[in-house]
Structure 1
């Protein structure tokens, strides 16, 4: 799953891509949700994917958030934290949507005097509930912070980005003090979703179409981290739904692709091994022999 880049985000929102976006030491921007939705011609939903930037949203309206095995229904106001590590799906349940959101890269906060590391904060840890339901009073407090962001970003103040970093941290700490919204769907439905998303992540890595293409998810731990679940939970879910372990499913799909590449390309064995995530040719040969009782060269011939 290729993460949505900042350039893709701006293209999808029908906004001009800021000049020098790839030269900035940390990017930041803030948006009004209703204005952005008015410009978008397609659906309002945010598709299930991950992004190459952090995002904090305060949204008013009926919505459903899907994070791995967590499906959360929101009645009115919510605060949502998105990290590059964890994909999510956002589904509006009515047309009355409003609010604000800001996007920023990790480097944006690195320059803060605290030297804060985003991935170390509880709110951005895999396995948590990064969606928080808000009372009307809490929603107004959050909206006030976003209003300060909008005002500061458009100002000529020389040190405005120092202030904006403080506002981002204020949102983060506000969220960490809230009680997260709980998953409202039954566990068997959530388990089925984890199984489905695992297969989707697995299949998105194939087919291999270039000797320079390399699969990014190779182990059960890789998939568990991407889905924000414990590896033991992922293994249990897949065993229940498929009768196979996570490792068995991954190995089977990698073997299938290996056979295709050996038969249908003229790539050498080291190139195929690289594409399939093996650091050493010997590791690939041992894997293939264990699965088929043949070496890769013997199978090819």
Structure 2
């Protein structure tokens, strides 16, 4: 899966001109049509995008939200979220792209995710708005677009204010148009599926005949997050919110279960068990086991005899 660290890399990959600024960009979809890749397979990037589709066919998929509205639609992309699209080249509307550096440039965005939770990776739900609400939103995008392409030295000071205005306007529409009970149920369902897939991956990765990636670190939540195509922080947040335990706790608990079974039911020595459980050295395994059980592997085996 492709991963774009900069806005410039992203623009090049989707077939449009480079941005004028490395940390902020605004486009109208009309200018992109005829240039942009119409069918984009799953990818990730490291910035926020806030868009409004005034008209056009096809759909964009963000995270697990595959039900893309057909009408006037506001939708979001968050850092490290999986994205894809398959569109008809007739879209109208606008989008802005914000890097972490742009957000850090102003105190307006110090509480971004607290003030505007619809930007969170697990809550960025695309939603449809009434046609009568379109002019207000489009007007803000147009002001940003005009300022961005101006020669004013202080244009980004104005853009920061306009972006804040846009976020507040979208927040009002989000609260008006999104059924929060349905949205929360969708998020809960997706989180439970993610937890189940994570737990299954832990088990299957430790199978003796498991086909593993080169240099796979089966003790690291980041390894499983990579297989699940999500950010490690998101994986940990979801797992902990449902189970009360961290992703690392789940991995360690599984390793302990396997270790105890090996010690009690096989004749393998500690060295063999350590390497079968993907520890770099027997001493690391012994230290891990003692830390989590308050006894050594040898003492545990002897006690169970």
Q: TM-score, normalised to structure 2's length?
A: 0.61
Q: Which residue of 1 aligns with 2:92?
A: 98
CA shift in 2, pair 1:136/1:20, >3 Å: closer
Counterpart in the other structure of 1:276: none
Match of 1:29 in 2: 25
Compare the two structures and name the one with the higher helix fraction. 2
Q: Which has the higher contact order (CA 8 A, sep 6+)?
A: 1
Unaligned stretches of 5+ in structure 2? 206-211, 226-230, 259-271, 299-305
Q: How many residues align?
A: 262
Contact residue 50 and residue 95 of structure 2 kept, 8 A: yes
Residue 11 (structure 2) aligns with: 10
Pair 1:248–1:34, CA change in 2 (3 A) = same
Q: 2:114: which partner in 1?
A: 120
Q: Counterpart of 1:107 in 2: which secondary structure?
A: helix
Q: Deviations over 1:20-55 (max 9, x none)?
A: 84xxxxx1111122433421345156x264x31111
- Does residue 155 of structure 1 match 2:150? yes
RMSD value over aligned CA atoms?
Answer: 5.1
Cα pair 1:5 1:52 within 8 Å, conserved: yes
Q: 5 Å matches for 1:33-182?
A: 33-41=29-37, 43-44=39-40, 47=42, 49=44, 51-59=45-53, 60-61=55-56, 63=59, 65-68=61-64, 70-84=65-79, 87-92=81-86, 96-112=90-106, 114=108, 116-123=110-117, 124-125=119-120, 127-178=122-173, 179=175, 180-182=177-179
Structure 1 partner of 2:193 = 195
Q: Is the 8 A contact 1:56 1:80 kept in 2?
A: yes
Of the three residues 225, 233, 236, the one matched with 2:234 is: 225
Shift in Å, 1:149: 1.8
Q: Distance in 2 between matches of 1:89 and 1:199?
A: 20
User: Structure 1 stretches of 5 or more lacking a match?
Assistant: 22-26, 237-244, 274-280, 295-301
Q: Do 1:80 and 1:130's aligned partners in 2 also have CA atoms closer than 8 Å?
A: yes
